[in-house]
Amino acid sequence: MRNSWFEVSGVRLPRVLLGTSPFIGAGQFGPRASAYARAFYNRPDRVASIIVACAELGIMGIQPLPYGFIVEAIRRAQRELGVEFVLVGTIGPWDPLGDLRAYDGLALRAALTHGALTDTASGEELKAILGAIRNEGLLAGYVTHAPMKLIRRLQAGELPRPDLIMLPFNALGYLMDAPPDQLAGALRQLGLPVIGKKVLAAGRLRPGEAFRFALGFGILSGLAIGMVSREEAEETLTSLALAMRDARWPTKH
């Protein structure tokens, strides 16, 4: 597929990012989590092979978690392909500003606080972190595991307004704290660029149906999608390319 781009405050970001949660065996994948961890955790060679496969299929953006083996895999894939990936990186929850240094030398365009940090930190804590991110010349944003809670905190002025947010959005309401239609309405009122994650509900939804649903609301500017094989990437990205033809993208933020 051919990747497209959206713009936030003059910074161009890929609409499609390779998610990296499978590579750490994240619990959202249920019974598959341990198999993913055995296959990829601390195995930069295997992670790099997935990054290369996705790049050959047109994906030039990555949403990395701040693990050394993931960053090393990105560097290896870049050397192999002679390209530079655009990163929308997660930082935290334990040492968010220290995590920024993990991405030194890479094309990091935005840094987003980990959901476990976003959803528990005070407004003052997040204000300091977002300020430090912006001082690095980066877009600053939030990942959240509780999107409606985050929206309400932003609307109430409890948290500083970010440049963008990343949140779960899928037809099942999987790992969401509000139904999709209710969340979509609140996001339209909020008026921030949104990157959707868990759009496939961690593999519980078929790609074509999942993408058509998520992209039909006109509230997502981009997607982060985890893939663990070339075959899965080919199937997923073929379905995504078809869905993107009819996608409703936000017209302004």
pLDDT in tens, 97-125: 999 999 999 999 999 999 999 999 999 99
Cβ atoms of 195 and 166 closer than 8 Å: yes
Q: What is the pTM of this model?
A: 0.96
* Amino acid symbol at 240: L
Q: What is the pLDDT of residue 245?
A: 93
In percent, the amount of the chain with pLDDT more than 90 equals 92
Confidence of residue 221 (pLDDT cuts 50, 70, 90): very high
pLDDT (average), residues 18-46? 90
Domain ranges of the chain: 5-245
Q: Is residue 3 over pLDDT 90?
A: no
pLDDT in tens, 127-176: 999 999 999 999 999 999 999 999 999 999 999 999 999 999 999 999 99
Q: What is the pLDDT of residue 253?
A: 58
Confidence of residue 252 (pLDDT cuts 50, 70, 90): low
pLDDT in tens, 37-92: 999 999 999 999 999 999 999 999 999 999 999 999 999 999 999 999 999 999 99
Q: Is residue 28 over pLDDT 90?
A: no
Q: What is the 3-state secondary structure (H, E, C) of 107-149?
A: EEEEEEECHHHHCCCCHHHHHHHHHHHHHCCCEEEEECCCHHH
Q: Is residue 251 over pLDDT 80?
A: no
Burial class of residue 76 (count of CB atoms within 10 Å of its CB; 0-12, 13-18, 19+)? middle
Strand-pair partners of 18:
62, 225
Q: Which two tokens stand for residue 22?
A: 């499978």
Q: Cα–Cα distance between 126 and 49 in angstroms, integer?
A: 35
Query: What CATH class has 5-245?
Result: alpha beta
Cβ atoms of 25 and 205 closer than 8 Å: no
